[in-house]
Chains A and B, each alone.
Chain A
Amino acid sequence: MNCREAADHLYEYLDRELTPDVQAQIKEHLAHCPPCGQHFDFEQSFLKFLEARCRAKGASPDLRRRILRELFGE
């Protein structure tokens, strides 16, 4: 596994979409290649940041009540 091959699988690796074999090869590469390791860490932080910032707000209690009323007449 070289840097280019690892970079080609960047998001599939972070999204855990690879086979265990390829996942392990990339992990091994990252352990021995600080520049790639740093790049993957950066992208991982970005994905975590994105998820955290978008999940804060849920449905309002009003909407929940409205739906229960429509569904079950209460």
Chain B
Amino acid sequence: MATPARTPTPVDQAKREAFEREALVHLDALHRVALRLSGNASDADDLVQETLLKAYRAWDQYQPGTNAKGWLLTILRNAFINEYRRRSRHPETVDLDSIEPFAVFEDVQDKDPQGAFFDRIVDDEVLRAIDALPLAFRETVVLSDVEGLPYQEVAKILDVPVGTVKSRLFRARQMLQAKLYQYAVSMGYIKGNAP
């Protein structure tokens, strides 16, 4: 039998207002991160919903005025690792140490030093390139480069040392550049150097 709706108490109302003000304002950011982690819109929606329900239940543990976005992203990331990762469409078969960074600038400095060719690449191709990164790199790049979080905060959310964030960012950015450069060459946006 359904529980009859009860009238919200002033305490409920205050909690709701605080949650809307400090947590729900980050809905778009949570969704962007969830989409890149899970790789599909349906899982991303479920992941964001689960994150916010968990956060609301645990709202007493959150200290008002502290970093709500970081707190929410930690909940989201843990939920993803524990529950969604197994059925995610991203295969995690890449050996991280086998990936060689590639310095695109050296290749383009004489013909397009400002990287104008990047502007011709469509959004979907950029997102595809990010989605093709191994999870460890993908989550670091999304938190840092898309959400603009400082290294210390990314490290805290991912539970890794700051040095790991730095090295992952370096390699992830080089990999993304290389992939998007190769795409730009294949589309004729820029002339590639002959192999």
* Contacts known (A42-B105, A49-B115); A15 close to B48, Cβ less than 8 A: no
* Contacts known (A42-B113, A42-B115, A47-B145); A71 close to B52, Cβ less than 8 A: yes
Give the residue of B105, B108, B119 whose beta carbon is less than 8 angstroms from that of A49.
Answer: B119
* Contacts known (A15-B144, A70-B49, A72-B16); A59 close to B31, Cβ less than 8 A: yes
Contact B28 A58 (CB under 8 A): yes
Any B CB within 8 A of the CB of A50: yes
Residues of A6-37 whose CB lies within 8 A of B: 11-12, 15, 17
Tally chain B residues at the interface, Cβ within 8 Å.
44
Chain A neighbourhood of B142, CB < 8 A: 54
Residues of A in contact with B (beta carbons under 8 Å apart): 11-12, 15, 17, 38-39, 41-43, 45-47, 49-51, 53-60, 63-64, 66-67, 70-73
Contact A55 B146 (CB under 8 A): yes
Residues of B141-167 whose CB lies within 8 A of A: 141-142, 144-146, 148, 150-151, 166
